[in-house]
């Protein structure tokens, strides 16, 4: 694996515009379970259409909040891990231009990354589906504790975490992500199954525009065949070795 990581370090040194694309596997070392791993992912145990779709949310918001209350509390307790911190270091040192993330956990920002495109939203915020007033997630869950279903103080419409549910469009950050991909000459995918669209479509788009592609993931992805460098591994040892390689 060391040879692969030395090659990755060299690709970063040579890149004019490197971008990282991160998925749920980046945050598992922080104690946040992923969604799609066979047998252990959340969607192997629960029906996402009931607890993670906009239709399910509107039809049974109490069930939605019962499901997510403890999980959102776990996000608040989670701390950035080595992958988050190394990506922040790469940006600070000029190797990385931005992070495009499918994660809603805010850990990239907390680790120090400045340019983070959150295409699926950020769990720390919420908004009213009626008047669009914003709330913190703490304010929303205080209302959940008192009333089970949180309603807006101003128009009494439902409050929703500012995260993309199944059946919703991605955030405006996705438009910016398209622009970043168009400029990139190196895209590094970390901890993503590349099964969720339209985000997964950024990978063949980058390749079609001439960017080199690195995929670092524990499991196989459907775009492995496009990779210029494929590292099949847990992220922690890779990022520790990459930090060493770029420090030498």
Phi, psi of 216 (to 5 degrees): -120, 110
Q: How far apart are CA 106 and CA 121, in angstroms?
A: 9
Beta-bridge mates of residue 1 = none
Which single residue is written with the structure tokens 């104690």? 31
Query: To 10 degrees, the CA torsion angle through 216, 25, 47, 151?
Result: -130
Angle at 54 (CA atoms; ends 155, 133), nearest 5 degrees: 30
Q: Which of 123, 124, 108, 203 is nearest to 165 (CA)?
A: 123
Specify whether the CB–CB gap between 224 and 207 falls below 8 A. Answer: no
Please tell me what DSSP assigns to residue 223: T
**For the chain, how far is it from start to end, CA to CA, in angstroms?**
17
Q: Looking at residue 196, what DSSP letter applies?
A: S
DSSP string, 77-103: H----HHHHHHHHHHHTTS--EEEE--
* Whether 236 is catalytic: no
Exactly one of 4, 84, 108, 120 is catalytic; which is it?
A: 120
By annotation, the residues acting in catalysis are 120
């Amino acid at each position: 694996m060391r040879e692969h990581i030395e090659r990755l370090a060299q690709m970063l040194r040579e890149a004019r515009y490197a971008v990282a694309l991160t998925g749920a596997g980046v945050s598992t070392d922080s104690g946040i379970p992923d969604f799609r791993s066979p047998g252990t992912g959340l969607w192997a145990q629960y029906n996402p259409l009931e607890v993670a779709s906009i239709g399910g949310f509107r039809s049974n918001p109490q069930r939605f909040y019962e499901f997510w209350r403890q999980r959102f509390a776990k996000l608040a307790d989670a701390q950035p891990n080595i992958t988050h911190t190394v990506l922040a270091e790469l940006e600070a040192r000029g190797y990385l231009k931005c992070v495009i993330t499918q994660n809603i956990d805010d850990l990239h920002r907390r680790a120090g990354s400045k340019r983070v495109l959150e295409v699926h939203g950020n769990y720390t915020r919420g908004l009213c589906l009626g008047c669009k007033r914003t709330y913190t997630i703490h304010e929303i869950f205080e209302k959940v504790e008192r009333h089970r279903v949180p309603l807006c103080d101003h128009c009494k419409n439902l409050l929703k975490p500012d995260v993309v549910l199944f059946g919703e469009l991605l955030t405006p950050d996705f438009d910016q992500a398209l622009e970043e991909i168009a400029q990139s000459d190196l895209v590094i995918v970390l901890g993503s199954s590349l099964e969720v669209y339209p985000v997964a479509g950024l990978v063949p788009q980058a390749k079609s525009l001439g960017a080199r592609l690195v995929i670092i993931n524990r499991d196989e992805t459907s775009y492995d065949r496009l990779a210029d460098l494929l590292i099949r591994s847990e992220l922690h040892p890779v990022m520790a070795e990459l930090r060493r390689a770029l420090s030498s």
